[in-house]
Chain A
Amino acid sequence: MSPDDALPSRLERACAERGLKMTGQRRIIARVLSESADHPDVEEVYRRASAIDSGISLATVYRSMRLFEEIGIIQRHDFGDGRARYEEARGDHHHHLIDIESGEVVEFQDGELEEAVARIARELGFDMIGQRLEIFGRRTKRKGTEPA
């Protein structure tokens, strides 16, 4: 069965929803990532993809994965072994608050914020394909203490 005959993987559908043009090789790379139960690095994705299509180059895998990462459908992890590893992005969407005095990064989610952002895009006549919010701040109180 060729990649074109198979049912689209979750990642392929996510790419299509974001309007990304899917070439045959990009489709194979998306499928390899969708079917991975582990967190493969780029070289491992290349090995798995080239087992399906020997014409896929490592450069194509790098480019495709960077693109997938940029549009937020795969997520990079650093497990401290010096290799970037990837998995399909979680369905939930996180934002980050960055403490400028310590560099600590606090992850947060907010349903109302998501709705507000989607509404703003809609009202401005856009289909939102992604968003990015980083809050920079300084702690006003220590962790675990209540305001006076």
Chain B
Amino acid sequence: MPADGHSSDQRQKDFAERFAACEAAVCGCRPIVERAYRELVGRGRPDRHALEAATVVLRWHHPELAMPEAEQIVERWVAGNILH
């Protein structure tokens, strides 16, 4: 068992639960995060900058999310808009 008392399975489960809550937009933050991203890209900001800013917005609504988790969620939400 790791020093923090949580197994990696438990951590994965916790993350999945938080992620599911955001995906379902229970708190209504998703359209806000997407709007911030969309408006920044529309004003000519590079994808990476817009993603970082949208992640800050998400983390204000969900301070419990760690940075990598928040980034993953935002990338997933705006994935259709990213230029590959």
Show the binding face of A for B, using Cβ within 8 Å. Answer: 42, 66, 69-70, 75-78, 84, 89, 94, 96, 98, 100-105, 107, 132, 134, 136
Contacts and interface: CB of A to CB of B under 8 A. Distances in A.
B60 A89 contact: no
Contact of B46 (A70, A104, A105): A70
Contacts of B39: 103-105
- The 8 A-B pairs of least Cβ separation, nearest first, read A103-B35, A75-B44, A105-B39, A103-B32, A103-B36, A78-B42, A100-B60, A84-B83
Contacts of A103: 31-36, 39, 57
A58 B81 CA distance: 20
Interface residues on B, range: 20 to 34
A18 to B, nearest CB: 15
A96 B43 contact: yes
Nearest to B83: A84
Interface of B: 31-36, 38-46, 49, 53, 56-57, 60-61, 81, 83
Contacts of B45: 76, 96
A78 B35 contact: no
Contacts of A70: 46
Contacts of B35: 102-105
Given A98-B53, A132-B49, A105 B36 contact: yes
